[in-house]
Amino acid sequence: MSEFDDPTAQGIISQSRGPVRARVVGNTSISIRALGPNHRTRLLKHLLSLEAEDRFLRFGYVANDGQIRSYVERLDFVNDAVFGVFNHRLHIVAMAHLAIYKAPGGAPVGEFGVSVAPSLRGQGIGGRLYERAALHARNEGVEVLQIQALAGNAPMLAIARKRGATVHRHGAESEAYLKLPRPDLESRLQEIIETYWADLHYSLAAQSRIWLGLLQGFQVVRSRAIKAGKICSP
Ligand SMILES: CC(C)(COP(=O)(O)OP(=O)(O)OC[C@H]1O[C@@H](n2cnc3c(N)ncnc32)[C@H](O)[C@@H]1OP(=O)(O)O)[C@@H](O)C(=O)NCCC(=O)NCCS
């Protein structure tokens, strides 16, 4: 397991005793943060950690490191939305990109792409990222959320179908379309609350890491002082 995959408790991914509002998926609670340009480095690390097969599933071709770097550099955090799940080390272990295309005179269309660290799959994280992106897309006035996936990408298509999307197959590729309801007060409030709790959850995890670091530093100084005291004592 790489350090990026570590699903240890006490982090943003934590066991279900974690923060009250974190969404519980199976036995695991996760919180999903909306990301910004300051997360590019961590997004890049997550994407570069994907093996060739996953890069193929994610991008439709085996993206090399340079292509992934350029994709991350080009991410548009103003018109699009990027969501991430962090582990207790505050590394990104899953991300979703919601691209929003505004056609003149028509309703905007959303396109969804996602990746989850291999060791954390099958726990509902991909599905939660899809729901989070759909909520944001709905609140942005998007009427249809699309996914372009390889026809053999059973987990991705299962996620979309389970949430009501229609899937059309064209040879080796499939397109999933999820019709979104119009935004309302409840959907807007839900997004505000989810954003608030995810940010709070992240701040708590970041603070506890700082305290842990200080505590570890203090322990080192303390044990050195004890050792020195023993050497110097008569
Ligand atoms: C697709 C991906 C994001 C799924 O992430 P995940 O966290 O494992 O997804 P979830 O756990 O939420 O859901 C996976 C679903 O697929 C189902 N599934 C898994 N393997 C399956 C298979 N071979 N056949 C049918 N369904 C399958 C699971 O049962 C689960 O459905 P459930 O919620 O009804 O149980 C992840 O596999 C990934 O990162 N793949 C590489 C990149 C990629 O393919 N991106 C999608 C294209 S944009």
3-state secondary structure 74-100: HCCCCCCEEEEEECCCCCEEEEEEEEE
R_g of the chain computed on alpha carbons: 21
Q: Which mutation among 159, 161, 173, 178 tests ligand 1's pocket best, with the greatest number of atoms within 8 A of CB?
A: 159
Residue 224 confidence (pLDDT) = 83
Q: Which CATH number fits domain 13-232: 3.40.630.30, 3.30.420.40, 3.30.70.20, 3.40.50.970?
A: 3.40.630.30
Residue 111 confidence (pLDDT) = 98
**Quick check: CB of 125 below 6 Å from ligand 1?**
yes
This prediction has a pTM of 0.86
**Quick check: CB of 174 below 6 Å from ligand 1?**
no
Triad 74, 79, 81: Cα angle to 5°: 80
Residue 214 confidence (pLDDT) = 81
Residue 11 confidence (pLDDT) = 45
Residue nearest to atom 14 of ligand 1 (CA): 155
The DSSP output letter for 39 is G
Here the tokens at position 46 are 């997550």
Residue 4 confidence (pLDDT) = 46
Which of ligand 1's atoms lies nearest the C-alpha of 117? 39
Residue nearest to atom 1 of ligand 1 (CA): 156
The dihedral of CA 227, 230, 233, 234: what is its sign? negative
The rounded Cα 26 to chain-centroid distance in angstroms is 17
Q: Which mutation among 30, 115, 131 tests ligand 1's pocket best, with the greatest number of atoms within 8 A of CB?
A: 115
How would you write the pLDDT of the chain (234 residues) with one tens digit per residue?
454 455 443 346 654 333 334 455 555 568 999 999 999 999 999 999 999 999 999 999 999 999 999 999 999 999 999 999 999 899 999 999 999 998 888 889 999 999 999 999 999 999 999 999 999 999 999 999 999 999 999 999 999 999 999 999 999 999 999 999 999 999 999 999 999 999 999 999 888 888 887 888 888 888 888 888 776 666
CA trace torsion 196, 201, 205, 208 (10° rounding): 90
Strands 109-116 and 144-150: parallel
